Structure 1
Amino acid sequence: MSGNLDVVETIDAVVEYAGDAYGAGDGAKYLSHDCFCKLRLSIDETDQFDGAKKYLDALRSTDPRDDKARIEQTNGGLLKDSYVWILESPEFITWRDESESGRLLWIRGDPGKGKTMLLSGLINELQPLTRLDGAQNSNTISYFFCQATNSGLNNYTAILKGLIYLLAIQHPTVVSHLDDKHDKDHWNSEVSLERTFRKMVDDTTPGEIYLLVDALDECVKGLPLLLALISSMSSRAKWIVTSRNRCEIEELFGQTSSNVALSLELHGDSVSEAVNSYISYRTRQLADRKKLKKSTAEKIHDHLSQNAHGTFLWVALVCQRLERCRAWEIPSQLVQFPQGLNQLYAQMMDQIRESDSCDLYMSILAVATTVFRPLTFAELIAMESLNIDEETFPDLIVECGSFLTTKGNTVVFVHKSAKDFLLKESSNLLFRSGLAQHQYDLFQRCIAILQNLHKDMYGLFYPGVSLHEALRNCPNPDPLDNLKYACIFWADHMQEAYKLFVQGEIIDDFHGADTAHDFIVEKFLFWLEALALCQNLSTAMKALIILRDLLGVSIQTSHMSQNCL
């Protein structure tokens, strides 16, 4: 702990301290002074491309078009009969036809009612009339799908970046609003992003501008700013947003006469008809895949229709589980599924508890529930220290009930309600030593994984290689594949653990600052290199600030303890 006071004083002291520990000569050769300057300013190195691509690269943390495609694929495709009813609803017609009284359409409803697929369907209906479908069109569309379980999709900054990204694709000339700034940290500034977004919307002419945002309630950071933005800009653009029934959203949207609210509960008959169409579609799929008799398919359809109660998600989960059954098992399994999402989740959890691999499945669910973004197969295998190939890993995820699914090589929750159930109803099963200890364990696992960091991870040999060149010559497989999450989020888990230890008044059991300090001394430059290759160098500043604050608290606590002796 002798270096702690140096670390606490300033971030520069940490840099110099770690550089000395690394070896001044090697540090000077391998990590240029320019890298230290970038760290102090919290600026990522960016690709040196021409024109608008610089800005698009800086903005593109995710492409909303890819997110839309993944969501539809996860739900078994987008069925037009499941959303077409909304096109004839009075609320949508008012939004579509009225120039003043319907600039914002707010679609609200309980979990599992199909809000996301409704919005996806509306995008499909509107997009052919916009420049996203062809430069000859005068209208513009931009959209974003929030996801509370993904730190890259659950905040105001990410939403603005996604909306700006699609606007810029359709109107390259609006890049002039992006000034000279195209580094990624500039685009992490809420003020800069909002100012740019407003300018782009104001100058995007002619035609209508359609802005659609799904799951406002899943914006866990900056929701008040997002609601204020939507309300203040409803006169310039036509918005469609969805959310669960939330009081704070209703209070703000209810203050403006140009807002139109569509409650799915008040359109229960239309939603039920849409769910029945979805049931017919999924039943046909199941019958074709399993080669079921007509009588069996009819029993499935009838049972689903009688028990769905207007909830798409319940139907999707039951059909997903029936797909794992043999054809002759389906009739007996079908009647065992309880009504209601929470009851179905509870049954899934009971089945996991009865499994011979219960501890493994519970551990995977616990990690998935508490990470800051969905993990790739390689990252989750590393976090769990599993001896398993990535090719067979999806089979393991299938065994975790139906709480999780896969998108490409990433493990995600089937729905936010699944994560909510685990946190509220099963936390005592997932976190047997308490949530604070679990977060501390995740931090420790991250640090253990990062012990694999070493000098020149990509075998570049020459330290002056540009980031673009380094990424273009990335080894296959990428040696950072299983390290990326730990590189970026280890300090967040340490901070979360500390907060929970403080809340539980068990701070004496927290030794994370010591572990983190040792890591910084031993692996600092290697960690910086890895962050640069992950295009996330600015994370270093955030992590060091967290470490500085926690070390300061640790030192003060230590001094207080000594004074009491």
Structure 2
Amino acid sequence: MLNRSKQAGEWILKNPKYISWLENNEADLLWITARVGCGKTTLASHITQKVQANPSSRSSNNNNLKPVILYFFFHKSNVEAEGTATGALRTIVSQLACQVPDVLPIVLGRYEFLSTKGNFEWSWENLLTMIGNMLERIPIDLEVYVILDALDECEPESQRLLLDWLRELVNNGKLSAMPKTSRPSLKFAITSRPDGNIFDSLSCFRTIEMTALDTATDMHTLINNRIKDFSRRRHLDKEASQRIIDFLEENSHGMFLWVVLIIQDLERRDERLTEEVITAKLSSIPLTLLNTYEAILRNTPPTRKKDMWRIFRWLLFARRGLTLAELEVAL
């Protein structure tokens, strides 16, 4: 619902740190941090859309070159490609080669060289070398945006390597050694929770700490749209709808995920929502994400608990993420 709102994420466009990051012609990094469930991934998606629709003045002045946007989402997984720095760089290399044909010969050449060694592997070192060569081949006027979402989900040792590389690249690495006239404009946007290791590495860069005040308009839109639709389907009067809206807005504290979980729980209930039932439900709703998860598990119907635990086991121990069709077969 929020992703479909044209106004969602507009607050970031007015943030001075975002504006400075966007308009800087040098390599730059923007770190966006917030607690779990506060909309970091949604914001990363909006930044991607905003950069495409409203690039910096440098891109706007060159109508022939559209900005290149590279995106990677980290999530803890048994699959290396989904939660490691190596997986992130592989994805970035692939996306860059697809969007900038000039760098494709570098990828093919590196592949041919490594494949002759017999033990082919896209190692961290090989990827760094190749990306460095690719950056030198990028057209001067091209802007490249790299969005790394949920960096706190990256495997710890791998995360350290990535943070070291980012600092070296932006502050005093490959790009700084290149003449200003031939440097590509490379900008990183990183989202994560306020993790200690990430803070130590990235707090020296432009940092935006998302607050409930920043996202208040987006939160208001989400709650009102969802409850309006819910009330129409459940035939709630305006007073009952407003009570639910007021409760969610008062207790959300910027946590979009909490709001969505609570609304989904209300939608699953099949009893008639009288004034008394609504009062009882609002008084028993957990006010933290952890307690909300516990309540969802605790309230799972007995007939579905066996399947629920089997699903958890498959998800936890599978070597890769499973599709819904695969889970259905497993059950």
TMscore range, shorter length: 0.7 to 0.9
Tell me how far apart the structure 1 counterparts of residues 53 and 213 of structure 2 sit (CA, whole Å).
Answer: 29
Q: In 2, are the aligned partners of 1:119 and 1:242 still within 8 Å (CA)?
A: yes
Q: Is 1:252 the counterpart of 2:178 in the alignment?
A: no
Instruction: Go from structure 1 to structure 2 and tell me whether the alpha carbon gap of 1:187 and 1:141 turns closer, same or farther (over 3 Å shift).
Output: farther
- Structure number with greater CO (CA < 8 Å, separation at least 6) is 2
Identity of aligned residues (%): 27
Q: What is the count of residue pairs matched by the alignment?
A: 301
C-alpha deviation, 1:294, in angstroms:
2.9
Instruction: Go from structure 1 to structure 2 and tell me whether the alpha carbon gap of 1:327 and 1:111 turns closer, same or farther (over 3 Å shift).
Output: same
Q: Is 1:359 the counterpart of 2:306 in the alignment?
A: yes
Match in the other structure for 1:98: 24
Alignment root-mean-square deviation, CA: 2.9
Tell me how far apart the structure 2 counterparts of residues 174 and 241 of structure 1 sit (CA, whole Å).
Answer: 24
1:329 partner SS: coil
1:196-345 alignment, distance < 5 Å:
196-205=130-139, 206-220=141-155, 222-234=158-170, 236=175, 237-254=186-203, 256=204, 259-264=205-210, 267-326=211-270, 328-329=272-273, 332=277, 334-335=281-282, 336-345=284-293
Matched letter for residue 250 of structure 1 = F
Tell me how far apart the structure 2 counterparts of residues 138 and 344 of structure 1 sit (CA, whole Å).
Answer: 43
Tell me how far apart the structure 1 counterparts of residues 125 and 232 of structure 2 sit (CA, whole Å).
Answer: 53
Q: In 2, are the aligned partners of 1:106 and 1:260 still within 8 Å (CA)?
A: yes
Matched letter for residue 39 of structure 2 = G
Tell me how far apart the structure 2 counterparts of residues 212 and 280 of structure 1 sit (CA, whole Å).
Answer: 30
Unaligned runs of 5+ in 1: 1-74, 387-565
Tell me how far apart the structure 2 counterparts of residues 357 and 90 of structure 1 sit (CA, whole Å).
Answer: 50
Match in the other structure for 1:190: 124
> Pick from 80, 84, 94: which aligns with 1:155?
84
Deviations 1:390-449 (A, max 9, x none): xxxxxxxxxxxxxxxxxxxxxxxxxxxxxxxxxxxxxxxxxxxxxxxxxxxxxxxxxxxx
Q: Is 1:181 the counterpart of 2:138 in the alignment?
A: no
> Pick from 76, 93, 113: which aligns with 2:38?
113
Q: In 2, are the aligned partners of 1:275 and 1:310 still within 8 Å (CA)?
A: yes
1:483-562 alignment, distance < 5 Å:
none
> Pick from 42, 53, 61: which aligns with 1:128?
53
Tell me how far apart the structure 2 counterparts of residues 135 and 174 of structure 1 sit (CA, whole Å).
Answer: 21
Tell me how far apart the structure 2 counterparts of residues 302 and 268 of structure 1 sit (CA, whole Å).
Answer: 15
Deviations 1:128-161 (A, max 9, x none): 3679xx9932432211111224623111122112
Q: TM-score, normalised by structure 2?
A: 0.80
Matched letter for residue 308 of structure 1 = S
C-alpha deviation, 1:186, in angstroms:
4.4
Larger Rg: 1 or 2? 1
Unaligned runs of 5+ in 2: 176-185
Tell me how far apart the structure 1 counterparts of residues 237 and 122 of structure 2 sit (CA, whole Å).
Answer: 56
Q: In 1, are the aligned partners of 2:147 and 2:188 still within 8 Å (CA)?
A: yes
Match in the other structure for 1:425: none
Match in the other structure for 2:183: none
Deviations 1:444-470 (A, max 9, x none): xxxxxxxxxxxxxxxxxxxxxxxxxxx
Matched letter for residue 377 of structure 1 = L
C-alpha deviation, 1:223, in angstroms:
0.8
Instruction: Go from structure 1 to structure 2 and tell me whether the alpha carbon gap of 1:299 and 1:326 turns closer, same or farther (over 3 Å shift).
Output: farther
Matched letter for residue 111 of structure 2 = K
Q: In 2, are the aligned partners of 1:139 and 1:209 still within 8 Å (CA)?
A: yes
C-alpha deviation, 1:116, in angstroms:
0.5
Tell me how far apart the structure 2 counterparts of residues 233 and 281 of structure 1 sit (CA, whole Å).
Answer: 43
Tell me how far apart the structure 1 counterparts of residues 151 and 110 of structure 2 sit (CA, whole Å).
Answer: 31
Q: Is 1:85 the counterpart of 2:15 in the alignment?
A: no
